[in-house]
Amino acid sequence: MNTGPNTLILALFLLGTTQGTAQTTIADGNWSDPSTWGGVPPFGTGNVVIGHHVVLDLDYGHSSGSLTVNPGGSLVGNSDMRAFALNYPGGTATMTVNGTFDVARVYLASNTVSNGGAFHADSLLCSATLTNSLGAGMVADQFRIDPGGTLNNAGSVETVNFLNISTVVNSGSVSASDFANSKDFTVANTGVMNIAFDFSNIDTLGGPAIFTINGTVLVGNDWHNGGQMNGSGRFCINHNTWNSGALTGTFDFCDLTGGDVDLNTGTVAGSITYCTTPCDVGTGEGAEEVLVDIFPDPFSSSANVRTGRYLHNAAITVVDGLGRTVLRMSNITGRTATLHRDGLPSGPYLLRLTQEGQVLATERIIIHD
C-alpha cells in the first residue's frame, strides 16, 4: 500500500472537499491559509461556510455544493483585480450571503444566489437567479443581468451603470447613474428607481425591450423609449424625452421641460396622464446624486470609500455626535479614497462628501475597537 507524501496530500484534499461535510472557518485569515479552515482550504467544491473575516487572496471559482457567508462573516478580495466566479464554465453550486461579500470582479453564471447582507463588487455579471432580500444591499460600479439571469430585488441596489438583457423585478430601490433595459424589467408598486443621468428602454441586445412601471422612476437627465412601456406608476424626468416605441397603460408621465413627451415618433395611448402628481427630481448638480460605498463598515483602522462619480478636488469630513468635525480629507480626485481612523474613539459618526461647497452625500459610519 502506498502511504507516501503524494497519497497523504490527495487524502487531505479529498477530505477538505467532501460534499457531505461543510468546511467552516475557524479563524480570521486568508482563504489560502490552512489555519483559516483548520485544514486544507476549499478547492472549488463542497459546502463552504464563512463565519469569520476571510481575505480572498487568489482568484476563485466554486462549482458544486454551496458557499455561505454567515452574519458577522465576510469574504473580501485583496486587490482591485480579484475575481470570483460561481459555476463557470459550468456547475451546480448555490451561494448565500448573510454577512459581507466584497470582491472586485464577480461572475454568477448559474443556479441561485441569495443576498441578505451586503454584497459589493466593482463589476457584477449575472446569468444566475439572484435574489436581493428586503433590508439587504448590493453595490456594484457595473451591474449587468445577462441572458438567462434573473434579479428579484426587494432591498437596495446601487450602481453606476445598470444594464438588463434578461429579467428584473424591482420591489425595492435601484439607484444608478445610467440605466438601460433591453429585455424585461418590472418596477412593482413598492419599487423606486432613481437614475441620476440617462434612462433608455431599447431592444438592441435582448429584445423586445419591455418596461413595466407600477412604482416610481425618477430620471435626472434624458429619457428614451424605443420598446414597449406599460403600467400604472409614474415617471418624473428632468430633461429631454423621446419616444420611438409604444407607451401604453395608465402611468403618469411628467417631463419637467414641458409636461408630455418632447419628441414622439412612436405611439402614445390616450390613457397615459401627464404630471397629475407632484414631480421633482432636482435640477443641475442636485440631480447628480452621488452613490457612496464605504467598506468595511463598521471598521477598526481604515475603510475604503468608493463613489459612483468621478470626483475632482472633493473633500471628506467626519463629524461626531456633538456636531464637531473630527477628521477632514481634502483634494480627493477620482472614485476612491481611504479613510483612516487616526486615533478616533469608537462609536458612530457622520461622513460628508463635498465638492465645490456642495454636499454630495452623507453617510453614517461606525468605528469599533
Whether the per-residue pLDDT at 332 is higher than 60: the answer is yes
Q: What are phi and psi of 294, to 5 degrees?
A: -120, 125
Looking at the chain, the whole-number percentage of residues with pLDDT higher than 70 is 91
Whole-Å CA distances, 190 to 38, 159, 230: 46, 20, 16
Under the banding of pLDDT at 50, 70 and 90, the label for residue 18 is very low
What is the model's pLDDT at position 164?
97
Burial class of 263 by CB neighbour count within 10 A (0 to 12, 13 to 18, 19+) = exposed
Least Cα distance to 367 among 307, 310, 279, 302 occurs for 302
Q: Determine the Cα–Cα distance for residues 176 and 303; give it in Å rounded to an integer.
A: 23
CB under 8 Å to 5, separation ≥6 — which residues?
none
Under the banding of pLDDT at 50, 70 and 90, the label for residue 290 is low
The most confident of the ranges 14-23, 30-39, 296-305, 332-341 is 30-39
Residue 11 belongs to what H/E stretch? helix 5-16
Whether the per-residue pLDDT at 190 is higher than 70: the answer is yes
**Dihedral angle sign, alpha carbons of residues 175, 180, 184, 187:** positive
The most confident of the ranges 118-122, 192-196, 223-227, 341-345 is 223-227
What is the model's pLDDT at position 20?
54
Burial class of 48 by CB neighbour count within 10 A (0 to 12, 13 to 18, 19+) = buried
Per-residue pLDDT reduced to its tens digit, 223-276? 999 999 999 999 999 889 999 999 999 999 999 888 799 999 999 999 999 999
**Dihedral angle sign, alpha carbons of residues 159, 163, 165, 167:** positive
What are the extents of the domains in the chain?
5-274, 290-367
Q: Extract the C-alpha cell encoding 83.
A: 475575481
What is the model's pLDDT at position 6?
45
Cβ–Cβ < 8 Å for 23, 16: yes
Cβ–Cβ < 8 Å for 276, 294: no
Cβ–Cβ < 8 Å for 138, 157: yes
DSSP character at residue 360:
E
Please tell me the chain's helix, strand, coil percentages from 3-state DSSP, rounded to the nearest 5: 5, 55, 40
Q: Determine the Cα–Cα distance for residues 168 and 103; give it in Å rounded to an integer.
A: 23
Q: What is the CATH architecture assignment of 290-367?
A: Sandwich (2.60)
Q: What is the rounded average pLDDT for all residues in the chain?
A: 88
Q: Determine the Cα–Cα distance for residues 270 and 286; give it in Å rounded to an integer.
A: 33
Per-residue pLDDT reduced to its tens digit, 169-185? 999 989 888 999 999 99
Name 192's bridge partners: 173, 216
